[in-house]
Amino acid sequence: MVPVLINPPCKRALDLLNDHRAEGILMDKNIFIFGVLGTPRSHFRPCDSLRSAANSCGASHPASLTATQLRKHVATSVQLLDMAENERELLNAFMGHT
C-alpha cells in the first residue's frame, strides 16, 4: 500500500462524497471510495482510464503514457531538484519506495 497525501479541499470533497454515497450512483454497500456500480468489492482502476485517454487523445505513442512511465519520469525529474534529504525521504515514501 502507498499512502496518499491530499490537501484540505480534496479532503472536503472526499468527505462530501462519502457522506452522500447512498444518494448517488455509488451504492452504500461498496467498501471503496471510488467503487464500481453494482459490485460491493470492485473499485475504479485509474490505469484503465489513463490507458483509454492515452489511446483516444491522438498521442503518437499512447503505450508510453502509463502510470509506470509517469512514476519513472517523476523519479528522474526530481533528481534535478535541489531537495533536502528529508524532502527526498518524503517523496520516496509517497512514491512507495524505500
Same domain assignment for residues 35 and 51: no
Is the predicted pLDDT of residue 45 greater than 70, yes or no? yes
pTM over 0.85: no
C-alpha cell at 85: 534529504
Same domain assignment for residues 25 and 5: yes
Choice between 77 and 10, residue whose per-residue pLDDT is larger: 10
Mean pLDDT score, 35-50: 78
Under a CB-based contact definition with an 8 Å cutoff, are residues 44 and 35 in contact? yes
Same domain assignment for residues 98 and 65: yes
Same domain assignment for residues 33 and 56: no
Listing DSSP states for 43-76 in one string gives B--HHHHHHHHHHHTT-S-GGG-SHHHHHHHHHH
Same domain assignment for residues 56 and 24: no
Q: How many domains does the chain have?
A: 2
Widest CA span in the chain: 48
Same domain assignment for residues 57 and 94: yes
Residue 9 lies in domain: 1-44
Confidence of residue 12 (pLDDT cuts 50, 70, 90): very high
Choice between 25 and 57, residue whose per-residue pLDDT is larger: 57
Same domain assignment for residues 10 and 24: yes
| The pLDDT of residue 28 | 64
Same domain assignment for residues 23 and 39: yes
CA distance 19 to 64: 37
Same domain assignment for residues 71 and 92: yes
